[in-house]
Amino acid sequence: MSDKTKGIVFILIASLGFAFMSIFVKLAGDIPVFQKVFFRNFVSMIVSLIMVTAHKDSYYGKKEHQKLLLLRSSLGTAGMLLFFWSIGQLVAADANMLNKLSSFFLILFSFLFLGERITRKQLIAIVVAFLGSLFIIKPSFDFNVLPYLTSLLAAMFAGGAYTVLRVLGKKEKYYTIVLYFSTFSVIALLPFVIIYYQPVTGIQWLYLMLTGVGATIGQFGTTLAYKYAPASEISIFNYSNVVFITLLAIPILGEIPDYLSLIGYVVIFAASFAMFQSKKTKEITPSA
């Protein structure tokens, strides 16, 4: 099996893990979002703690990277709170597809804060993708649009977190970054969990734990995928997450996206695919 094939396999496993995470978040029912995110990250914290200990590596990262690690963790926690809340309010596939706009926010933030150039094709793809999001959001002048806007905001925070990760690059081990983020989130959310704690049933406990398991599979699957293959070759397979969650949500949750949402999925995917193809062509074209 080639490295590229391994990368594709791991990105598909990651997408399936994140799809199950979204399903279990919804199945957990009407539990405060603080509890859901807390237990999701608690499982990741334990797994990453074991990995860091096994590798005898740093638990908290290098001193000079603390501000970046703290910023990544803050943005990631805020984005996850918003995303989990929107999943509870929307069709799961809609929330996940809107969350994929994080890659376009990453391009914008890399331009604004890292000084990276935005090409004309990237700019067109960004505009097309956000136009596609309107088919999913179906704008209206009432509170029904709030969960969609929250999902967009979650994608923006996620894009910010990914931008910080680009700065961190290879400066820290991936399991140290995951441990830092998970631990930060658990500590930051603990007071809110205590204040707003809601008793849960046995089956809800199971769903909360499985949410964490799915998220952990997704996190480490993504990390391993990009270890074997560059993002330019496999990132497009991230969209399999929306396919997985749509197929799972129909029998498990009884959710079927409407035709406007499906149009939005196609438009956003087309914009991403065009950008993906453009990047591949640029990389394989010899420079003059």
Write the pLDDT tens digit of every residue in 149-194.
999 999 999 989 988 888 886 788 888 988 999 999 999 999 999 9
Q: How far apart are the C-alpha atoms of 214 and 23, rounded to whole Å?
A: 9
- What residue type is 180 in one-letter code? Y
- The answer to whether 24 touches 190, Cβ cutoff 8 Å, is no
Q: Flag the least confident range among 19-28, 100-109, 200-209.
A: 100-109
- Within 10 angstroms of residue 174's Cβ, the number of other Cβ atoms is 19
Would the pLDDT of 139 be above 90? no
Is 272 part of any domain? no
Query: What's the gap between Cα 135 and its chain centre?
Result: 21
Which of these, 248, 243, 281, lies nearest to 100 by C-alpha position?
Answer: 243
Which residue segment(s) compose the domain that 168 sits in?
A: 3-117+142-259
- Mind listing the pLDDT tens digit for each residue in 25-82? 999 988 999 999 999 999 999 999 999 999 989 898 998 999 999 999 999 999 999 9
For residue 20, is it within any domain?
Answer: yes
Question: Is 48:234 a contact under the CB 8 Å cutoff?
Answer: no
Q: How many domains in the chain? A: 1
Contact between 261 and 93 (Cβ < 8 Å): yes
Whether 279 has a pLDDT exceeding 50, the answer reads yes
